[in-house]
Amino acid sequence: MHTSLPAYLEESERIGGSAISMKQMDWDGNTLWEYRNKRMHHDFVHLPNGNYLTLLIEGLPDGMTAKVQGGNWAEEDPEVMWGDKVIELTPSGEIVWEWNSWEHLDLETDVICPLEGRKEWTHINSLSLTTDGDMLMSFRQTRFIGIVDRKSGNFKWKWGKGEIPHQHNPTWLDNGKILIYDNGPHRIRKTAFSRVIEVDPATKEFGWTYQADPLVGFFSVGISGAQRLPNGNTLICEGVHGRMFEVTEGGEVVWEYINPFFAEGRYGRSNGTFRAYRYAPDYPGLQGKSLRSNSYRELNDLINAGLPASEGGILEVVVGILENSDKLDAEEAKQ
């Protein structure tokens, strides 16, 4: 969830999507494992071997910043531009592998959008794996997605320039296609609108697509994502507006939810939501846990009544709801 900048993030190197800690927590909020790095951002993958992949920013090598093309040049541009890297780390925090994006990018073709700044070259905003274990990533500044061979570090596939302006959250589907949230700002000679698309990496042809009618009825300038559900429907997160909805293959909206929590952030006072996932009731991590939807049915009314999302406001109400839910669980356990 996109919220006001916590005090602890003041330590971090600031780009959109910055973080400083990756944690594993139990149901009660206790930290079971943590890795801290002030240059982490956006995303991570928990590998089958127990290790983690995550994204970092790092200054480009000497002399490279001036060679990167594109972007909106300004006097306040940093002398050294940020580049993206991926690291693999063990649960003990040891870095056992790394991939430096600048060693595999093309200075002639991987050009920054002319309407974006030059603080960073690529701004990778998503990291996941294909069924072959290769890295599937979204490069926002340079407007493409890519598949990187983890053994060689080389790109196996790149696509998107001129097709998907400032996209997010590409994921590999069981049908061998890639699902992408195409945010759609800075479209060339077209109005700005968002869409969710399937792309066949073998042919680069579009498959299933969702967009609104009219086009401007569905648009998020940043963040956002999409998840293909087991029933064939697609869960979409229209991030900037905090809207999550499920659509059928035919484009019918069959479920919708608006994030009721607002806080100050990069978009002003916003309910922006970076990404959303759906977990089925039989998900192993939810077994034996209290999921009392009725405990929260008054939440939206409280927020709409003007309670702020801060200490003494809606957060205090939520704490009270959770404490009451815990008491009900304890009473049920005695019966």
193-205: pLDDT as tens digits: 999 999 999 999 9
The predicted model gives 314-324 an average pLDDT of 57
Q: Which of 94-108, 109-123, 216-230, 291-305 has the lowest mean pLDDT?
A: 291-305
The predicted model gives 27-56 an average pLDDT of 95
d(CA 24, CA 12): 20
User: Closest by alpha carbon to 118, among 160, 161, 72, 186?
Assistant: 72
Task: Kindly report, residue by residue over 160-210, the tens digit of the pLDDT.
Answer: 999 999 999 999 999 999 999 999 999 989 999 999 999 999 999 999 999
Amino acid at 279: Y
User: How high is the pLDDT of residue 293?
Assistant: 66
- Domain limits of the chain? 7-292, 293-335
User: How high is the pLDDT of residue 263?
Assistant: 80
Query: Does 1.10.357 match the CATH number of domain 7-292?
Result: no
Taking the model in full, what pTM does it have?
A: 0.88
Question: Which of the 8 DSSP states describes residue 18?
Answer: B
User: How high is the pLDDT of residue 187?
Assistant: 94
Strands of 90-242, DSSP E = 95-100, 124-129, 135-139, 144-148, 155-159, 168-172, 178-182, 195-199, 206-210, 225-228, 234-238
Task: Kindly report, residue by residue over 268-289, the tens digit of the pLDDT.
Answer: 888 999 999 999 989 998 998 8
Q: Which residues of 9-18 are buried (b: 16+ CB within 10 A; e: fewer)?
A: eeebbebebb
User: How high is the pLDDT of residue 27?
Assistant: 86
